[in-house]
Amino acid sequence: MAKVTIDDITIEVPDGTTILQAARMIGGHVVPPAMCYYTKLKTSGGYCRTCLVKVEQGSEKDPRPMPKPVASCRTTVMDGMVVRNTTSPEIQEARAGVVEFLLLNHPLDCPICDQAGECHLQDLSYEHGKEGTRFEFEKRTFDKIDIGEKIQLHMTRCILCYRCVKVADQLTDERVHGVMNRGEVSEISTYIEKAIENDFSGNMIDVCPVGALTDKTFRFKSRVWYTKPMYAHRDCDKCSGKTTLWYQGEDVLRVTGRKDVYGEVEDFICNTCRFDKKLTKDWVIEGPAEIDRHSVIIQNHTEKLIPKEQVQILPNLPGVDFTKKIES
């Protein structure tokens, strides 16, 4: 076991735990954001740098600090390690820089993007983004690629987190897509433009942190905050059949996996449940879904207001708003 202190809160965790996992065991405002790490996808993490933290003390035996911010999803704790996340203005500033980089090429098309309201980059920009851009060049553009009749790819929105590639690698039998090329011209593409038709390919939509992969059967039907999410299940011979149905009136507009507080799905679901079961009679309804992730998506649903006394105000950094850090 190793003792680690994150933002002045000490916890004992099994050896081999990463700083991010240890922070999630504590929960609340000490947890760094994660755009590419995904608990259920092996080897995920290490691509986006949003989870940066400061290691103020390496370990009990060797108390020297780590010289640079480290990716908390890829750094394992050591006994006696001291870590700073929200209590380090330096880290908040570094994170604002990462957000600025992620937004260099990402279009600000939230008003027409189906992911709006549940987009991790939208949340991150709201919390750490600067009001202006210093980028003077044209954003990247790509030739449009059709990756099949159920999933829409908007490459301009992709932040190259590799989660969809890991889903394809680890959940489907035959991966037909990946990241092609390197550097500025990297892009998600299918090999020889082959459609992604595997039974579990729809999970790429759920793991995509932005609006680069969206559900064609839901596109432009509604803003997500106008829908009512309900937990439901059905007997399915391919997956657990446990889903969230997103209703507008009597209509099921889309079906997704159930997501936890970090926006990660609890059980991956099959394409039959996701795309072909859009009638209430197909499902056993369990009740309203809990959307406990802080995001625009909780508007009109289950938002808990933050009591004023629990709002932590950290040192003022230009363009950085810390006032929404602590949830009740």
Chain residues in the site for ligand SF4 (CB under 6 A) = 158-164, 188, 207-210, 212-213
| Nearer Cβ to ligand FES (47/218) | 47
- Residue 163 site contact among ligand FES, ligand SF4, none (CB < 5 to 8 Å, cut-off depends on kind): ligand SF4
Task: From residue 123, give the alpha-carbon distance in Å to each of 45, 280, 293, 324.
Answer: 19, 31, 10, 11
**Minimum distance from CB of 189 to ligand SF4 (Å)?**
10
**Minimum distance from CB of 306 to ligand SF4 (Å)?**
29
**Minimum distance from CB of 283 to ligand FES (Å)?**
33
Is 86 exposed, middle or buried (CB count within 10 Å of its CB: 0-12, 13-18, 19+)? buried
| Nearer Cβ to ligand FES (116/160) | 160
β-sheet with 81-84: strand ranges across: 9-13, 2-6, 81-84, 52-57, 70-71
- Residue 210 site contact among ligand SF4, ligand FES, none (CB < 5 to 8 Å, cut-off depends on kind): ligand SF4
**Minimum distance from CB of 227 to ligand FES (Å)?**
28
**Minimum distance from CB of 207 to ligand SF4 (Å)?**
6
| Nearer Cβ to ligand SF4 (32/211) | 211
**Minimum distance from CB of 124 to ligand FES (Å)?**
11
**CA–CA separation, 323 vs 112, rounded Å?**
28
- Residue 46 site contact among ligand FES, ligand SF4, none (CB < 5 to 8 Å, cut-off depends on kind): ligand FES
Q: Do residues 71 and 46 make contact, with C-beta atoms less than 8 angstroms apart?
A: yes
How many Å separate Cα 10 from the centre of its chain? 26
**Minimum distance from CB of 249 to ligand FES (Å)?**
38
Q: Do residues 206 and 259 make contact, with C-beta atoms less than 8 angstroms apart?
A: yes
| Structure tokens given for 199 | 């039974």
**CA–CA separation, 216 vs 241, rounded Å?**
21
Task: From residue 231, give the alpha-carbon distance in Å to each of 87, 212, 242.
Answer: 37, 25, 8
**Minimum distance from CB of 44 to ligand FES (Å)?**
8
- Residue 207 site contact among ligand SF4, ligand FES, none (CB < 5 to 8 Å, cut-off depends on kind): ligand SF4
Chain positions contacting ligand FES, by CB under 6 A: 34-37, 45-51, 71, 73
Q: Do residues 29 and 325 make contact, with C-beta atoms less than 8 angstroms apart?
A: yes
| Nearer Cβ to ligand FES (17/50) | 50
| Structure tokens given for 264 | 């990660």
Q: Which amino acid is at 121?
A: L
Q: Do residues 269 and 255 make contact, with C-beta atoms less than 8 angstroms apart?
A: yes
Of 185, 118, 191, 130, the residue nearest 158 (C-alpha): 185
| Nearer Cβ to ligand FES (36/188) | 36
| Nearer Cβ to ligand SF4 (45/209) | 209
| Nearer Cβ to ligand FES (34/196) | 34
- Residue 265 site contact among ligand SF4, ligand FES, none (CB < 5 to 8 Å, cut-off depends on kind): none
| Nearer Cβ to ligand SF4 (22/161) | 161
